[in-house]
Amino acid sequence: METTQVYGMPRIGDAAPEFKAVTTQGDINFPSDYKGKWAILFSHPADFTPVCTSEFMTFASMSKDFEALNCQLVGLSVDGLYSHIAWLRTIKEKIEYKGMKNVEVTFPLIEDITMEVAKKYGMLQPGESATKAVRAVFFVDPKGIIRAVIYYPLSLGRNFDEIKRVLIALQTADNFGVATPADWRPGDDVIVPTAGSCGVAKERMEGLQEGVTCYDWFFCTKKLPKEEVEKKLGK
């Protein structure tokens, strides 16, 4: 009897589903090859399409920023390896866009013609397209745990500055034991975790903790200088 593999969609806090794949930079085992590093696994709908081209040029131009944050980029589409190679060569040799030219994509781009990986990661969303992956972004931490997920539809190019901001915020939360408020960027105040008891909360409100500002008992922030964040995150 034929069996159909049913995949769930990986969620925040799940172990990143494992796979082996052929890429433009050789074979990879994910996430084990990336142990000890952050990885951003992202999908795009198709090679030789305009939104994807603008995204790859932008992401590749920022790849040194991600490396400095101990993060490797891994792309995927359901196209084949030779299509990937031809598209990336065209980008490098022919496309000049928004001041970016001669852009070399040095991070691996997975071929997924069987759609095995795309299905495992919930990148195929039939209401949007049954044959192309949506623009998914998975942030995987050094232990192989999915820490954030963002999905965009086919027509919407991603904001790579936001992707970098999310990575920095996740690393800041891990390194400093804080949370980050709306629109946070390095240098902005961070959120002190909510106190476990009323006594501590009262102390916080009365300003007994140096450098802490409380807006109410459940909402306290403190300064975290940009230089401290950058030093810790290895920039």
The residues, ordered by sequence, that sit 6+ positions from 174 with a Cβ below 8 Å of its Cβ are 141
- CB of 139: closest distance to ligand BEZ in angstroms? 22
Q: Is 21 in the site for ligand BEZ (CB under 6 A)?
A: no
Q: How many helices (H) and strands (E) does the chain have?
A: 7, 10
Q: Is 205 in the site for ligand BEZ (CB under 6 A)?
A: no
Contact with ligand BEZ (CB under 6 A) among 40, 52, 167, 229: 52
Strands (E), the chain: 19-23, 26-30, 38-43, 71-77, 109-111, 135-140, 146-152, 190-192, 212-216, 219-222
- List residues with catalytic annotation: 52
* Residue 79 CB neighbour total at 10 angstroms: 22
Q: Which residues, 148 to 187, sit near ligand BEZ by CB under 6 A?
A: 154-155
Identity of the residue, 21 or 154, whose beta carbon is nearer to ligand BEZ in the bound complex:
154
Token pair for residue 212? 């802490």
Sign of CA dihedral 122, 127, 131, 136: negative
Q: Is 144 in the site for ligand BEZ (CB under 6 A)?
A: no
Q: Is 95 in the site for ligand BEZ (CB under 6 A)?
A: no
d(CA 137, CA 120): 14
The residues, ordered by sequence, that sit 6+ positions from 198 with a Cβ below 8 Å of its Cβ are 217
- CB of 105: closest distance to ligand BEZ in angstroms? 15
Identity of the residue, 131 or 194, whose beta carbon is nearer to ligand BEZ in the bound complex:
131
| CA nearest neighbour of 116 among 32, 45, 41, 20 | 20
Binding window for ligand BEZ (CB under 6 A); candidates: 9-17, 41-49, 64-72, 200-208: 41-49
Given a contact cutoff of 8 angstroms between Cβ atoms, the answer to whether 59 and 106 are in contact is: no
# residues contacting ligand BEZ (CB under 6 A): 9
Identity of the residue, 44 or 204, whose beta carbon is nearer to ligand BEZ in the bound complex:
44
- CB of 207: closest distance to ligand BEZ in angstroms? 52
Identity of the residue, 142 or 157, whose beta carbon is nearer to ligand BEZ in the bound complex:
157
Identity of the residue, 92 or 222, whose beta carbon is nearer to ligand BEZ in the bound complex:
92
Q: Is 197 in the site for ligand BEZ (CB under 6 A)?
A: no
Q: Is 75 in the site for ligand BEZ (CB under 6 A)?
A: no
Q: Is 127 in the site for ligand BEZ (CB under 6 A)?
A: no
| CA nearest neighbour of 103 among 59, 53, 57 | 57
* Residue 172 CB neighbour total at 10 angstroms: 21
Q: Where along the sequence are the contacts to ligand BEZ (CB under 6 A)?
A: 45-46, 49-52, 132, 154-155
